[in-house]
Structure 1
Amino acid sequence: MKNDQKKGNKVFLSLVTFVLGFMLAYSYNIAKEEENFDEKNRKDFEWKEENQLRNQLINQQEKNSALQEELYGKQEKVRDYEQKLSHEKEIFFNLAEDADKYRMYLGKVKVKGRGIKVTLEDEEYNPNVDNVNKYIVHEQHIFKVVNELKISGASAIAINGQRLKHNSYIICNGPVITIDGNEYPAPFEISAIGDPDVMESALNIVGGVKDQLVNDHIVFTMEKKSELVFKPIVGERQR
């Protein structure tokens, strides 16, 4: 009886051990499958996430490239506008410069700068000269000086303080000259704004204006000026 009971216990323990072993093995397999499943899902998720990030990066790079192209296009337009504005600015500057020259030429603006002053005087009376007009300053003498100064680059000229216009006239009437209706006695001071060295050299050239006037018995003096100021011409007459 006892042997039968012992055998029964052994069988029961064997059965329990078998069941437990089966349960452990089954649990292990389940856990292993779950682990493998989780690992596969993790790798799938990481791959999907990496692929998504890669696609986002590619899209962003394409957007950046498109924006860069657009930026290059706008920069090119800006350069075109800048060139046009620069050209227009240059044209405007040239027009403004020309306008200033014309105003200066017409005597409509105040002018100041370095220059030169030439003084013409009648030579002292010489009883040995039969014709008094031979030692008097005439308009042609003044014209020679004025024309030479203009050729030498004078931007503005005045005689005895009266500024000359583009259409000024000079008439000799005995010992006086008339400039645009205003009479002036000798000596005649011809002032010009411009490069004093150039104008001085032009007047002093051998056989030039100075020599011609001296040969005509005209007292000729010349001096450089650090600054001359000519007021604008107002109205038709100026004193």
Structure 2
Amino acid sequence: MRKTSVRLSVNINKIATIRNARGGNTPNVALAAKNTEAFGAEGITVHPRPDQRHITYADVRELKEIVTTEFNVEGYPNAEFMKLVEEVKPHQVTLVPDPPGVLTSNAGWNTIEHADFLKDVIAQLSSWGARTSVFIETDEAMIEGAKACGSDRIELYTEAYATGFAKNPEEAVAPFVRSAAFARDIGLGVNAGHDLNLDNLAFFAQEVKGLQEVSIGHALISDALYYGLENTVQMYLGKL
């Protein structure tokens, strides 16, 4: 039985990374997405980057036609990204402040410094029917800024929690408990992601009240190499 109502969205970028290493269409990204949903995942997340080193824009278009749960597209809202989102109209768009060429998302938005930019982007995304989420750290001023920009949700950047979990879980999760409560109080939904795994996920989901969704990719796909995709999705669902 599920311990919480937190939804699991699986980021399938790493499937595309393996495919792109060899070329061709093995492993098949679309089939992986279908199977991931069939095995119980409640959403599919992709993060197309400008160099398309893993998920490509063509993948996003194909996935839009087959994803039957929630389709979440992450990325930096440059002109190309926005054009893609307008075309595919995913259920949720998670805005991430990635500069070109970054290896992985490693910081949240400064929603005060970039307020005007984010307001315009979020207004456009909302007009296309997408729920919006801003990738952000635990600073309450930045969370309040996300609300002021018109976002529906935030996605808490959880690397600091994952790093501190082994040493002191209670101390590591405390800023996220506080920031999630603050976000809820001002009317924002709360997602989370980055470095969540089988060891640290259950504690985070139980402690952070009102958490709605976690997006997990690298750890889950890596675990699937050992345990198989179906078993791994079930293992992660069992932590929620």
Structure with the largest fraction of strand: 1
TM-score, normalised to structure 1, is: 0.21
Computing the radius of gyration from Cα coordinates, the structure with the larger value is 1
TM-score, normalised to structure 2, is: 0.21
The structure whose RCO (Cα within 8 Å, separation 6+) is larger is 1
Structure with the largest fraction of helix: 1
